[in-house]
A and B are shown apart, each in its own frame.
Chain A
């Protein structure tokens, strides 16, 4: 009843092809953005920014990048942590070695370096498929882990291998307080999400999806697998690299190679599986789920325990987190293998009909 598009006629091709053709959707997104840009800074406290919102935004960006590669192009990649590390360290080097380099330029250049590395490690995908490719990308992960520990040039010759950045600023405005960091990340994520959404709706996105569905048939009808796969790796690595640079600069402030280890790669893969492969919206859902769940469990489990009079040690909370995490992943895969985004679509479909049954 509320969600019908009766009366909404499109009179131009542009209107027909917009990302949110239904007026209610546009209003919804508008409200969401307004809340995110204005409401959240007014309502949220520092902890919420630092521990939940900023990691959520940055990981959502990385998840969008990974989703493009895995969800839209079908190339399984377990080396995302490495590409984030490349983005972070490259951005660091640009910032530190070139005087007067603006932070945003350093971050984008970090993304470009991640693109180069991504395309390099994406070349095997032309020959190797599926699970075997996943293992090949692990080579990227471990190699980068080692390179950033061993090659001192990357860490500006610091004795310990740990690097840090400070005095960040964007267009002359210092980015120090949590609100400023949040707004900066939000801006970057909005821009990149828009770019990603438009890319996957364009002809390159269709090429990616054709390769994912049946790469031999795609090659037969004239889609060049080399071009499609390598552009997928390139775009994905660019976003992941930018996310990595943001993670290091904005969220952590000081980091070492272990911050981008294989656990990070698995975490991102979980995000897109739970959120929904092949869906930009799904990346956000997945990122929110994975970021909030451990923190929620950390608060809820001791509270639950004290309800029953049990004192739950932090070790037990940590183990239970693992167990619930694993169980939830299996549960989601059984109940909805296409992820939270599919649940969202089903919800919208139902809303289209409500209150009518069909």
Chain B
């Protein structure tokens, strides 16, 4: 029983981390209808920027304080992500305004390749460290009830807290600020929003910047856990089923989808996996999503797809 709970908790924690990446997808799709395959590359790029800046600033400016280095690096990385967002809007999205979904998807795939190569060119392709002081050792709960206690990863707990804060922050942003309302208007209907004077291109830059910010946060947390290296961009493939499960247009859907997927993956790997040789995590998640889609083709919380003839 204890082990089951441990796996469950581990799964929930992983799920939260996946939803951090998935949030970026949802944000962009909500506001512009573009499925941003480049989110994984953005996470990698942001994480690389953060890791390298936190190395370079102390060297360049000759100081030793780690907290200051991290704060400066965060600000610089955020600025870089906003710049990237602006460039993407200007060079790519602005010119593909009325194209179909698959063209925009392919464009974001092109951006993925570009960011991957560009990030590694500027920042390098070794493993880099992000150290924001998250504790790495495990926490054992309920020692008396379960033998050996329940293993909870402290780092993951912090990550869950940060993710929760991010979701709350984003919700407040969307519900109560003027910009948030403008974003929701654009998501609803581009043309109507334009006709009442909402500047579309500025809105898109804001959306991509917010997604970039989310990518930065996700990148810092994942980078702190795994080290910053190329495979971070493959996280997009982990976040995809989360987004699809939760529905492409729902922020709470991303979180709940993440939790479900995380739990499903870990439980299947630990309990079913050993009987069929192991390594089933990845496809199990996708097959799970497949079955959910067969029942609800728009995902759990997505908008119903209406086809007009």
Binding site for B on A (CB under 8 A): 76, 124, 127-132, 135-136, 138-139, 142-143, 145-146, 149-150, 214-217, 220, 262, 266, 269-270, 273, 277, 315-316, 318-330, 333-334, 337
Pairwise interchain contact A323-B286, C-beta atoms closer than 8 A:
no
Residues of B contacting A273 in the complex (Cβ-Cβ under 8 angstroms): 102-103, 106
Chain A minimum-CB-distance residue to B243: A135
Q: How would residues 106 to 129 of chain B score, 1 for a CB under 8 Å from any chain A CB and 0 otherwise?
A: 110111111111101100010000
B117 and A142 contacting across the interface, CB-CB below 8 Å:
no
Q: Enumerate chain B residues within 8 angstroms of A138, measured Cβ to Cβ.
A: 237, 240-241, 286
Beyond A127-B293, A131-B101, A138-B241, 17 extra complex contacts between A and B, CB < 8 Å: A135-B289, A142-B283, A146-B280, A150-B277, A215-B307, A216-B309, A270-B106, A273-B102, A318-B117, A322-B113, A322-B116, A323-B117, A326-B111, A326-B113, A326-B115, A330-B92, A333-B103
Residues of B within 8 A of A139 (CB): 283, 286-287, 289-290
Which residues of B lie under 8 Å from residue A146 when comparing CB positions? 279-280, 282-283
Which residue of A is nearest B88, CB measured? A330
> Which residues of B lie under 8 Å from residue A321 when comparing CB positions?
117
Cα of A143 to Cα of B291 in the assembled complex, Å: 14
Contacts known (A135-B241, A146-B283, A333-B96); A124 close to B110, Cβ less than 8 A: no
State whether A135 and B244 are in contact (beta carbons under 8 Å apart), knowing that A323-B117, A329-B107 are contacts in the complex.
yes
A73 to chain B, nearest CB (A): 13
B109 touches A323 (CB 8 A): no
Give CA–CA (A29, B207) in the complex, Å. 50
- What are 17 A-B contacts with C-beta separation under 8 Å? A124-B294, A130-B101, A135-B286, A138-B241, A139-B290, A143-B287, A146-B280, A146-B283, A273-B102, A322-B114, A325-B117, A326-B110, A328-B110, A329-B107, A329-B109, A330-B111, A334-B96
- CB-CB < 8 A to A214: which residues of B? 309
Instruction: Provide the bound-state CA to CA distance between A321 and B107, in Å.
Output: 17
Q: Nearest-CB distance from A131 to chain B (Å)? A: 6
Q: Could you tell me the distance in whole angstroms from the C-beta of A149 to the nearest C-beta in chain B?
A: 7
B23 at the interface (CB under 8 A from A): no
Task: Report the bound CA distance from A132 to B244 in whole Å.
Answer: 7
| B1 on interface, CB distance cutoff 8 Å | no
Interface residues on B, range: 35 or more
Scan residues 86-101 of chain B and give those whose CB is less than 8 A from a CB of chain A. 91-92, 95-96, 99, 101
Q: Is the interface of A mostly helix, strand, loop or mixed?
A: helix
Instruction: List chain B residues, Cβ under 8 A from A217.
Output: 309
Interface residues of B in 129-160 (CB under 8 A from A): none
* Distance A72 CA – B92 CA, assembled complex (angstroms): 26
Chain B's closest residue to A146 (CB) is B283
Contact check, B110 vs A127: say whether CB atoms are below 8 A apart.
no
The answer to whether A315 and B125 touch across the interface, beta carbons within 8 angstroms, is yes
Residue of B114, B237, B240 with most chain A CB atoms under a 10 A cut-off: B114
What residues on A are CB-neighbors of B111 within 8 Å?
326, 330
User: Nearest A residue to B92 by beta-carbon distance?
Assistant: A330
Asked if A323 contacts B244 (CB within 8 A), the reply is no
Q: How far is the CB of B182 from chain A (nearest CB, A)?
A: 25
Please give the distance in Å from A317's CB to the nearest CB on chain B: 10
Closest to B29 in A: A131
* Residues of the A chain whose Cβ atoms lie less than 8 Å from the Cβ of B92: 330, 334
Q: Is B10 an interface residue (CB 8 A)?
A: no
In the complex, the chain A residue whose C-beta lies closest to that of B91 is: A330
Q: Is the CB of B286 within 8 A of A330?
A: no
Contact: B120 with A319, CB < 8 Å? yes
Q: How far is the CB of A160 from chain B (nearest CB, A)?
A: 15
Set of chain A residues within 8 Å of B298, measured between Cβ atoms = 132
Residue-wise interface mask of B (220-235) relative to A, using a CB-CB cutoff of 8 A (1 in contact, 0 not): 0000000000000000
> Min CB distance, A265 to chain B, in Å?
11
Q: Which of B114, B120, B276, B279 contacts A330 (CB 8 A)?
A: B114
Q: Give B94 Cβ to nearest chain A Cβ, in Å.
A: 10
Task: Select which of B121, B282, B293 is within 8 A of A142 by beta carbon.
Answer: B282
Q: CA of A206 to CA of B279 in the docked complex: distance in angstroms?
A: 42
Q: Do B297 and A128 touch across chains, with their CB atoms under 8 A apart?
A: yes
Q: Is B109 a contact of A266 with CB atoms below 8 Å?
A: yes
The one of B112, B117, B277, B307 that contacts A216, using a Cβ cutoff of 8 Å: B307
Contacts of B121 in A (CB 8 A): 316, 319-320, 323
Q: Give min CB distance, A261 to chain B, whole Å.
A: 11
Residue from A127, A318, A324, A329 within 8 A of B106 (CB atoms): A329
The reply to whether A327 and B110 contact each other, CB–CB distance below 8 Å, is yes
CB distance from B61 to the nearest CB of A (A): 28
| A-side contacts of B113, CB under 8 Å | 322-323, 325-326, 329
